[in-house]
Structure formats: structure tokens, C-alpha cells
Structure 1
Amino acid sequence: MTFDLDIKNTVRTIPDYPKPGILFRDITTLLADARAFRRAVDELVHPWAGSKIDKVAGIEARGFILGGAVAHQLSAGFVPIRKKGKLPHKTVSMSYALEYGTDEMEMHVDAVQPGERVILVDDLIATGGTAEGAVKLLRQIGATVVAACFIIDLPDLGGAAKLRALDVPVRSLIAFDGH
């Protein structure tokens, strides 16, 4: 079995969630499979093994799980990017586009120092609004965003292309057609 199929087979698809017509790609089944989880993290880390990466930033919530594992493998610090109002210290924030409307994300103002090399991690990229907001937030405080990594890309929705237009290399392990 190829890597792509091996990982794809551990992702559960839930039709009509959170609304009719959506195929929700659930990575909790991948996370529960020790072999698949390890392999996915190893593949996310591989291009940067031996490189100087200062921090890994993970987008709430599944990006925390993956980002923490990636940071550990790279001997880098971990930075949580959270929804507004969830962090206890002084924060910096960024609004970002959702499918219908906007939201706001935050990180601690001292989580990344200017010039630090950061990899952004989340489970999935769809339209790219959240990831684009996270890149802009990191850059706002002076981070160098080395890359953005995802388990799943939904290329029909254009999110990875949106990040590449910001000069952020994108690594995704698998892709699903549609939404």
C-alpha cells in the first residue's frame, strides 16, 4: 500500500457535517492509529529535519496536537494560535475570513521573536482563510514563516494556492477532491 493510500485510509469521512453537502474529513481516526500518526508526523517533519526551525505554530485545535508533535521532533518551541479571548497574557490579534463572515485569532505577543523561523501546522487546509490569517499574524510580529504544513489539502477550495501567493511553501500529505 502506498503512503498516500495508507494515510487516506485512516481519515474518516463524515457526510453532511457540519451542514448538508459537506464531507467532513476527521483526523481523529488517524490520531488514534499509532503507526499512521507517527508516519504523518515524520512526513510533516522530513523536509526540515536538520534545519534551523525556532518555533512551530499550531492553529486551534487539531493544529495543537500535530504542531506539538512536529515541534518535539524538530527540537523547536511550540506556539498556540487561538481564538480570541483564550490566552491569559498580552496578545496580538488578526482578523481572518471565514466562509460566511470573519473571526479573530490571537497569540501571545512574546511567543515569537522577530526573525525567528516558524513552521505553521494544522490538520487541513480548505479555503485558506484561517491559515492566511495565521501567516499574517506571525509576520505581524516579525516571524519568518518557513512553510505551512497540513495532513489534508482540499485543493478545489484554493487554500494552498492562497498561501503560495503569500510566498509560503505548502506541504500537505494527502488531498481529497471536493469539499
Structure 2
Amino acid sequence: MRKLKHLGILCFLFIGGTLMAQNGSTMVGGAEMSPRKNIVENASQSSDHTTLVAAVKAAGLVETLQGDGPFTVFAPTNAAFEKLPAGTVEALLKPENKEKLQAVLTYHVIAGNFSADDVVAAIKEADGKATFETVSGGKLYAMMEDGKVKLKDASGNVATVTIANVNQSNGVIHVIDTVVLPGK
């Protein structure tokens, strides 16, 4: 990667679908994601992940996702949450639905640090469809389609990884365009 400077202003490069700062950190939701910060600290800075952060807080998972990990988080954007049926997010955020919200959110998390290369290698090793066990105990299926990593959930929803390898001090985030849901 060639470093660029223009009149002393920090420059950004668009590399393989990911906006990168000159220092090698990734830009998500208009904010620089520091590999020295944990998952919650970085996600809280992204304007694309305000719904996810609110859900993590409502579910009581902030401490967990600030822990040592490592964790691989498939982080749905605000637009991904907007694809859910009307009223779904509001209902999940109610205190009486805390366990269901926890199940949905932990379905987006895999124990360990799986880079995009690790996920792609697992897909190839499994003849095109890798199975990952989520922290919630469910199964998430990964495959390649048109050169992109796709995730299929237990309900048949398919998400695309839109930004990969957002490194954190306690794992990695891969941004996805659809909320994945555990089976019923």
C-alpha cells in the first residue's frame, strides 16, 4: 500500500472495499477503528452501528464484549436492523425481552479471532460451506458468492460481509448488511 500525504492532512485509501487510514486502521461509520481499543469502544464510535451498540447495552453484554476475548463479531449496520420487520428492534430492546436479545446478539459472535482469510480458508476446507458455532450455541454457515463472504443463519437469512478485518484489541469485527437470526 502506498502512503499518501496532501498538505499534512491525514489521507485515506480505499483498498478492496475498505477505507483505510494512512496509519493502517480501518474506517467504519465515519470513524477510525483503533486496533488498540476493544470491540465496544470502537463500535461506539461508528455512526453505522448505533442500533447495535444500543442493543448490546440493553442486553447487558457491554462487559462481556469489553473482555479479553478474543471474539469474532459479525456486526450488523443500522441499515441491517432496518430490514427487520417493523417493531422488531423496539420489541427486542424491551427489558422483558432481554434473554431473546442476548440470544440474537450472541448469535453474531464466534469465540476466537477469525480473520477474513481464516473464514475463507474454512470455507475452502469444507468444500464451499463452513459451519461455525456461535457463542449462543447456534450454527452460522459461511460461503463464498461472487467473491464475497456470505453468512446464512438458521432461519435462512443471508448476510454479506461488507467490511472485513476491523481489528480490535480483543478480536475482530466483520461488518455485515443483514441481521442473522438463531433458529426458533
Give TM-score, length-normalised by structure 2. Answer: 0.29
Which of the pair is proportionally richer in helix? 1
Larger Rg belongs to: 2
Structure with bigger RCO (C-alpha 8 Å, 6+ apart):
2
Give TM-score, length-normalised by structure 1. Answer: 0.29
